[in-house]
Amino acid sequence: MGDKKQWVYVFGEVKADKNLLGGKGAGLTEMTGIGLPVPPGLTITTEACNEYYVLGKQFPPGMEEQLMSKLKTVEQQVGKKFGDPEDPLLVSVRSGAPVSMPGMMDTILNLGLNDQTVQGLTRATGDERFALDCYRRFISMFADVVMKVERSKFENVLHRHKQRMKVEFDSQLDVESMKQVLLDYKQVVRNTTGQPFPQDTYQQLMMAIQAVFSSWDNDRAILYRKINKIPDELGTAVNVQCMVFGNMGSDSGTGVAFTRNPSTGKHDLFGEFLVNAQGEDVVAGIRTPQPISSLETELPGVFEQFVNTCRNLEKHYRDMQDIEFTVERGRLYMLQTRTGKRTSAASVKIALDMYEEGLISKEEALLRVDPNQLNQLLHRQIDPEAKLNILAKGLPASPGAATGAVVFDADEAERLGKAGNKVILVRNETTPDDYHGIVVAQGVLTSRGGMTSHAAVVARSIGKPCICGAESISINYNLGQFTVGGVKVNAGDIVSMDGSTGNIFLGEIPLVDPTSSQELEKLLGWADEIRRLKVRANGDTPEDATKARAFGAEGIGLCRTEHMFMGQDRLPIVQQMILADSIEERNAALHKLLPIQQGDFYGIFKAMEGLPVTIRLLDPPLHEFLPNQEELVVEITKLKVMHGDHKEIAAKENLLRKVRAQSEQNPMLGHRGCRLGITFPEIYAMQARAIFQAVCELVEEGCRIIPEVEIPLVNHPNELKILRKQTEEIAEQVMAEKGIRFDYSIGTMIELPRACLVADEIAQDAEFFSFGTNDLTQTTFGFSRDDAEGKFLAHYVEQKVLKENPFVVIDRSGVGKLMRMAVELGRKTKPDLEIGICGEHGGEPDSIEFCHLVGLNYVSCSPYRVPIARLAAAQAALAK
Amino acid sequence: MGDKKQWVYVFGEVKADKNLLGGKGAGLTEMTGIGLPVPPGLTITTEACNEYYVLGKQFPPGMEEQLMSKLKTVEQQVGKKFGDPEDPLLVSVRSGAPVSMPGMMDTILNLGLNDQTVQGLTRATGDERFALDCYRRFISMFADVVMKVERSKFENVLHRHKQRMKVEFDSQLDVESMKQVLLDYKQVVRNTTGQPFPQDTYQQLMMAIQAVFSSWDNDRAILYRKINKIPDELGTAVNVQCMVFGNMGSDSGTGVAFTRNPSTGKHDLFGEFLVNAQGEDVVAGIRTPQPISSLETELPGVFEQFVNTCRNLEKHYRDMQDIEFTVERGRLYMLQTRTGKRTSAASVKIALDMYEEGLISKEEALLRVDPNQLNQLLHRQIDPEAKLNILAKGLPASPGAATGAVVFDADEAERLGKAGNKVILVRNETTPDDYHGIVVAQGVLTSRGGMTSHAAVVARSIGKPCICGAESISINYNLGQFTVGGVKVNAGDIVSMDGSTGNIFLGEIPLVDPTSSQELEKLLGWADEIRRLKVRANGDTPEDATKARAFGAEGIGLCRTEHMFMGQDRLPIVQQMILADSIEERNAALHKLLPIQQGDFYGIFKAMEGLPVTIRLLDPPLHEFLPNQEELVVEITKLKVMHGDHKEIAAKENLLRKVRAQSEQNPMLGHRGCRLGITFPEIYAMQARAIFQAVCELVEEGCRIIPEVEIPLVNHPNELKILRKQTEEIAEQVMAEKGIRFDYSIGTMIELPRACLVADEIAQDAEFFSFGTNDLTQTTFGFSRDDAEGKFLAHYVEQKVLKENPFVVIDRSGVGKLMRMAVELGRKTKPDLEIGICGEHGGEPDSIEFCHLVGLNYVSCSPYRVPIARLAAAQAALAK
């Protein structure tokens, strides 16, 4: 080799490095290394793939020579020769990227067959029909993947022959028919491509490798990487492995298995086995496989060996494995192992169990669960008490409840989903081409395929409910309809599904709030021991507060008082206040609002007794509470055209004038937050009084209340100074009136760039800061969220102009830089300044890690995300 | 005194420190020190005033004792005693703040008179009538200022006596009548206040001092400080000075003078003199004073002494002085000197002359002219040659000339103004509710209110011409009409106004372009030698560019291409482009726009040949070019109610749908700038092609063109990378097509906080940065300028929540901090990065100083502000 780069490695030759060998190659090398029965083979590295693209789709110099040399080693290991007409070595050629992209790239089996070697295979196996069937599969697969001949053309040939022979299954075609099929297959290739099917096995191999390299850049793969944020620069490795055959009779077969139940986490082998079949038969979901337990009765020796292998793999990898294997004439071969995808419930249970089993530490257990995945556990589920009529039943492939309109097409699902509609994607089976539809659907329902079918794997990995193999339903794509037991369900009809039971229902079904499982509680208990960040909840009602506390919230980080202004009993008074012509009129309205607000605060404080409650004074611009301007204009126009009542017109025009006076070009940057507080001091005064009077009521009842009054949208220290003074005066007044002393603190939202830049000055009058990262992101980027997400932000993320949507994940280099500055400046003035975050980022794991890194005291998020935040905060503390 | 604080100083006792002694006190002390004839006196310091407020309106301990002791010194200097019934020392008591606040605070003359001392004064002067007149003046002045008795009550008494005696002037009242007047005056005081007029001269003095201290906080003074941005903490000093009498016969008198002409700057004494009068007679305007030259003939000796004194004062202060003086029986006394206010023309001429005279250096001359004042010289003015008939006259409340249609309602003014009409808002008075109308009007005219009325204050603050208190006009809102001297003026009629004179005209009046004077040219020439900042202009047309070049602009810093989209010939094509249903349709429209844009660029480049021209690609959101949504809704509603044509309705509804699709919640933060460039690449591609094709045309003509292509609203380096690549490709295409090579550069606006924060990354793909401080201020503060100025920003500035309107003066601690960061980061990546500013701040002197300090290469402003910027840039370079 000299100093030339090594592009090709035999399994076991090198350390199992995923980045170099891809996930599949690393798994095969690792299994080879620990002595498991892996058919010999070699891996062409991801570096070779990247170099291939650098060179304008040319193999790197030396790669072919190395391949030949390594292939010789493999030939020696199995004692067969590639292309040997007597006893040919056949190989599979599979892609394998560093990050799993299931089904996204291409695979070719049985490579090495041609008109000569197929005879050698017959001789070697003594089974001509088998050999011919292999050749048939190879031609169609190779022609499809490498030569871009449509697969349906081969299916048509096969269908014709089956009709001619009046048989139902491929396996019923006899040798003569198979020979005829092969001739027709080769004819299809010649007619479609103008080329004969390649007979040179070396040429076959190089074409296949090239096809796998090229598949890295096919549309499906690009889309998958986009959605899953996988860098384009990783490249794929290619694995060339000796074929073993699951289709050599009833003592052969192929299977996939998880070392534990990926749905529940239970410590049981979970998987499926298909007798006398090759891998593609299972994945395609065409034949419904048997549970893995069937292997125990049918091939007990193999089963025992398999169970032991699984145990060893788990011990070795210290995680649940997702395994592909083949049994060839009673002999077990391992074809793949990788860390298995699982539901959130399973993820929690497996982490806990593995700790109990001594496989992993507590810290590792915490790091094993993806906080984002907990979402699944924490969303609403079907009411177990509800009496429901089941329309149909399928396999419970991915848990969770969903309701939506039936859609039969992934493109249509995407269109409707992006427009904000809830849809259920219904297909016979799904393929990687349907991925964009699955992503936006509420749930996926297939009439065919098993628990490891494409739909099931994808749905589990992205946390969507999925039911597979609901065979009682019969889909007619042309009519846009499925029927089940005489019931017709049309596209657009509403159905519901429960991915945890496999039940399908007509219409909407009642959902209930989730309850946290014991396992989750235990894990979160560990998280609480380790995390440094406190976790609070955003909540505007006593109900929110109670729920949040049940989920482990350590206070309310944001109570938005404007939500209280929106109630049906309040809105008319609020409008009266806004439209007041005099300060007296405004005060009269505020006087009516005071007891209502006081009642709101009383309830929230009580629910959070002993914990801090941050109450933000009125934030949105006043026009949000007024009637819609355009609707008023329409009403007035109608009244005028139809010569309506003059008084009514005048009254409406007067209202319109006032609404117009309040309207703004850019309400987001307008007259809101503390700007309202400063120009209409009486509003904030009423709110402060309501807060402090509620505190007094509770103090009298013997409760410990920790109120934090928060001033929104502060820009300049003077704003806070003025409003702080007013608030303190009111606190003193209330204390004097009630004869009760109470503690409280005053602080500010930090949600404008300027506030971050002068945080040292602002901190002088603040006991706490709370980052409002929604608004801070809007102003730092100059993105109006309302407009950006619909107009250009999706395009930006898709085209990778931005790596992430900054409203979802904190933009560390921009917004984060400002936050870091605000923390440093604020603490320079007040070393013990309490700093939190209450934007939506407060419940997003990557952002929580950032909050940990910059030294915040707490994050605050929606009640349902509190467990996610608890776990994410612990993971942040564990990360180096 | 021991270690007690010194609150009182005799004139000349201490260094002339304005902050301690106030402006007047410092002037008197300085003049005393250089031996000018100043009546002796003392100053109570501003510190005493501040302490007075700190102590809750109590004199500081020790102040009274010090006052008595210093008063003794003064008595010794003049050889008279305060309160001496034989020959009383009389004093004036005057306020004097560190910053001149003319007429805003109170003055009392002739203090020390009572029923006894008035007889002593008679004896000492031998003039009983004079003594009685002094007492009369003192009572009314003291009662008015100190005891809050309305002055009109005294005027009524006097009027009654003049009627009774059948005389016309005060001076015609005889001694007996004067005695009667005095009795009645004292009765007025007793009746109004319930107290006798104070006879204790010491009590008089202390009451007067207290009144002056208190006048610091009267409404007039507070408002004046607000308007002129004078800190409230300065406090006022009090000057107690021996009276000298200009009303002691024909060899006496009083005068005011400027050492040079404050209007033209000519080196001539300029002022007025009134024989036999006290200062208040001049101010009251009852007798018309003579030009100062009259003194030369009447009192040649005094005149010569006065001329010498003026020369000495100029030499001493090295600036033009504004002087008050009195002649008592042929003897000259100096009562005040201060730096004289002057017009911009005078300011320039005086600076140049004083340099020529060797009084000041070139650098000092440059620092002597306030760049903001040049505005006066550089805006269109009423043609001084025009013969004009004045319709009415009011108070000249805010300078400048304006012409427009009469409008009586602020809403209507806003509607018409926003639609591009020129209007003059005419009201009896304005209130804060009229703000939105004032902002869009050309000028404001009120029939009531004075120089400090709402209209006047607002108009001055935003630089609009305003005339107040034009009482001869009578407004009838219902008829939409005002009348003046029989002339009826209806809403919609054109009127003109000159806010510098208070004159109102019917119809349009001829305005003339300002011409830069030779003097100004010379001064700006010096500025150019000294400044380091380059000065460019913002301009969108060849005319703008030509004008800017004439004013000394060194390039175009911002050419806004969207203004070119608004022309009547272009808008339909632009709308066609925006509403296109397909890319083909859009390209067809763009194809039509290309030659038009190319023509625009050709003209601008040509006008700026040899100088850089920065062209910003399309910036505003597309809906700005579309029909108004609400108007469409009204049209459709009308058509529907009246059962209009179905096809028309459908067409309009289709249009409405598209307009709605483009509309945004917060257009300022929406789909605009480079976001358009990235989502509709064909628009920027057309613009780049138009630029480069225009360059080619001119290069072929032998011109040297320096085009700079500017990408707006960049947030993330990827945005610039993508658009840079496209622009470069188009440049290469155009070069290849035309066979011409040309130079160009590509850069970006820095107008979002995020751009500043990641400026190092952005600089990698930019040859230049240009700060768009309008948008940067909007986003850093979270202020929508459209909304803020009308809704809360005026209130913020008035209430001193913010020191300045940040859209006028750069906010150094917030926005400026981001700018500094961007400059440092940008230059870290590219040390020779060219950085400028093109927001409105680029023409504002304080902001220009900041730009100099942070090391920008240039500022860019509107053509008329180029001279201002040249001078301000030189001053920045001269400041330490």
B440 touching chain A per CB within 8 A: no
Distance CA A435, CA A432 (A): 5
Nearest CA in chain B to A751: B782
Per-residue CA distances from B150 to B154, B198, B842 (Å): 8, 17, 50
Q: Does residue B1 have a pLDDT over 50?
A: no
Percent of chain B with pLDDT strictly greater than 70: 95
Sheet of B237-242, strands arranged across: B8-10, B41-44, B237-242, B91-96, B107-111
Q: Does residue B486 have a pLDDT over 90?
A: no
Chains A and B: how many Cβ contacts under 8 Å? 197
- Of B757, B758, B814, nearest to A758 by CB-CB distance is B814
Q: How far is B597 from chain A (nearest CA, A)?
A: 26
Distance CA A272, CA B39 (A): 114
CB–CB of B787 and A718 under 8 A? no
Distance CA A250, CA A265 (A): 31
Burial (CB count <10 Å: 0-12, 13-18, 19+), residue A128: middle
Maximum separation of any 2 CA atoms in chain B, in Å: 105
CB–CB of A665 and B668 under 8 A? yes
The stretch B829-856 carries a mean pLDDT of 96
Maximum separation of any 2 CA atoms in chain A, in Å: 104
The string of pLDDT tens digits covering residues B520-551 is 999 999 999 999 999 999 998 898 899 899 99
Sheet of A487-490, strands arranged across: A474-476, A481-484, A487-490
CB–CB of A799 and B634 under 8 A? no
CB–CB of B757 and A817 under 8 A? yes
B308 touching chain A per CB within 8 A: no
CB–CB of A670 and B634 under 8 A? no
Which residue of A653, A778, A781, A810 to mutate against B (max B Cβ within 10 Å)?
A781
CB–CB of A629 and B633 under 8 A? no
Q: With cut-offs at 50, 70 and 90, classify the pLDDT of residue B285.
A: very low
Q: With cut-offs at 50, 70 and 90, classify the pLDDT of residue A774.
A: very high
DSSP B784: -
Q: If contacts are CB pairs under 8 Å, which of residues 236-295 in chain B contact chain A?
A: none
Q: Report pLDDT for B659.
A: 87
Residue B262 tokens, joined: 């404050």
- Of A633, A667, A786, nearest to B633 by CB-CB distance is A633
Q: Does residue B690 have a pLDDT over 70?
A: yes
Residue appearing with tokens 């107690």 = B240
Distance CA A169, CA A156 (A): 14
How many Cα neighbours within 13 Å face the side chain of B517?
15
Q: With cut-offs at 50, 70 and 90, classify the pLDDT of residue A380.
A: low
The stretch B460-483 carries a mean pLDDT of 84
Percent of chain A with pLDDT strictly greater than 70: 97
Q: Does residue A659 have a pLDDT over 90?
A: no
Average pLDDT score, chain A: 91
Q: Looking at A460-464, B1-5, B229-233, B494-498, which range is the least confident one?
A: B1-5
Nearest CA in chain B to A628: B630
Nearest CA in chain A to B676: A792
Q: Pick from A775, A774, A771: which is nearest to A747 by CA?
A: A771
Contacts of A101 (CB under 8 A, 6+ apart): A221, A224, A225, A228, A230
The string of pLDDT tens digits covering residues B385-432 is 777 888 998 887 777 889 999 999 998 998 898 888 999 999 998 876
DSSP B643: T
Which residue of A749, A801, A803, A820 to mutate against B (max B Cβ within 10 Å)?
A801
Q: With cut-offs at 50, 70 and 90, classify the pLDDT of residue B683.
A: very high
The stretch B188-215 carries a mean pLDDT of 95
Q: Report pLDDT for B457.
A: 61
Q: Report pLDDT for B514.
A: 66
Q: Does residue A24 have a pLDDT over 60?
A: yes
Q: Pick from A781, A790, A784: which is nearest to A810 by CA?
A: A781
Is the separation of the CB atoms in A135 and A110 below 8 Å?
Answer: yes
**What is the pTM (predicted TM-score) of this model?**
0.82
Which residue of B414, B658, B780 to mutate against A (max A Cβ within 10 Å)?
B780
Distance CA A602, CA A218 (A): 60
The string of pLDDT tens digits covering residues B772-806 is 999 999 999 999 988 887 789 888 987 889 989 99
SS3 content of chain B, % helix, strand, coil (to 5): 50, 15, 35
Q: With cut-offs at 50, 70 and 90, classify the pLDDT of residue B2.
A: very low
The string of pLDDT tens digits covering residues A432-460 is 778 889 989 999 999 987 776 778 877 87
Q: Report pLDDT for A562.
A: 82
Chain A residues inside the 8 Å CB shell of B718: 800-802
A405 touching chain B per CB within 8 A: no
Distance CA A773, CA A794 (A): 19
Q: Report pLDDT for B82.
A: 96
- Of B642, B670, B757, nearest to A784 by CB-CB distance is B670
The stretch B284-302 carries a mean pLDDT of 80
CB–CB of A780 and B754 under 8 A? yes
Q: Report pLDDT for B13.
A: 93
Residue appearing with tokens 């600036």 = B319
DSSP A637: H
3-state secondary structure of B42: strand
The stretch B247-255 carries a mean pLDDT of 89
Average pLDDT score, chain B: 90
Percent of chain A with pLDDT strictly greater than 90: 67
Q: With cut-offs at 50, 70 and 90, classify the pLDDT of residue B439.
A: confident
- Of B642, B792, B815, nearest to A675 by CB-CB distance is B792
Q: Report pLDDT for A58.
A: 94
Q: Does residue A1 have a pLDDT over 50?
A: no
The string of pLDDT tens digits covering residues B723-742 is 999 999 999 999 999 999 99
The three-state (H, E, C) secondary structure of A420-488, written as one string = CCCEEEEECCCCHHHHHHHHHCCEEEECCCCCCCHHHHHHHHHCCCEEECCCCCEEECCCCEEEECCEE
Which residue of A622, A791, A818 to mutate against B (max B Cβ within 10 Å)?
A791
Nearest CA in chain B to A782: B669
Q: If contacts are CB pairs under 8 Å, which of residues 583-642 in chain A contact chain B?
A: 629-630, 633-634, 637-638, 641-642
Nearest CA in chain A to B622: A791
A664 touching chain B per CB within 8 A: yes
Percent of chain B with pLDDT strictly greater than 90: 66
The stretch A163-184 carries a mean pLDDT of 90
The string of pLDDT tens digits covering residues B591-634 is 999 999 999 999 999 999 999 999 999 999 888 888 888 888 88
Q: Report pLDDT for B283.
A: 52
Q: Does residue A382 have a pLDDT over 90?
A: no
The string of pLDDT tens digits covering residues B7-60 is 999 999 999 999 999 999 999 999 999 999 999 999 999 999 999 999 999 999
The string of pLDDT tens digits covering residues A293-337 is 889 988 999 999 999 999 999 999 999 999 999 999 999 999 999
The stretch A848-859 carries a mean pLDDT of 98
CB–CB of B813 and A758 under 8 A? yes
CB–CB of A753 and B641 under 8 A? no
Chain A residues inside the 8 Å CB shell of B711: none
A742 touching chain B per CB within 8 A: no
Catalytic residue among B674, B756, B838, B851: B838
Measured over the CA atoms of residue B683, residue B688, residue B689 and residue B693, the dihedral's sign is positive
Distance CA A367, CA B321 (A): 80
Q: Does residue A2 have a pLDDT over 50?
A: no
Chain B residues inside the 8 Å CB shell of A638: 637, 641
Q: Report pLDDT for B516.
A: 62
CB–CB of B782 and A669 under 8 A? yes
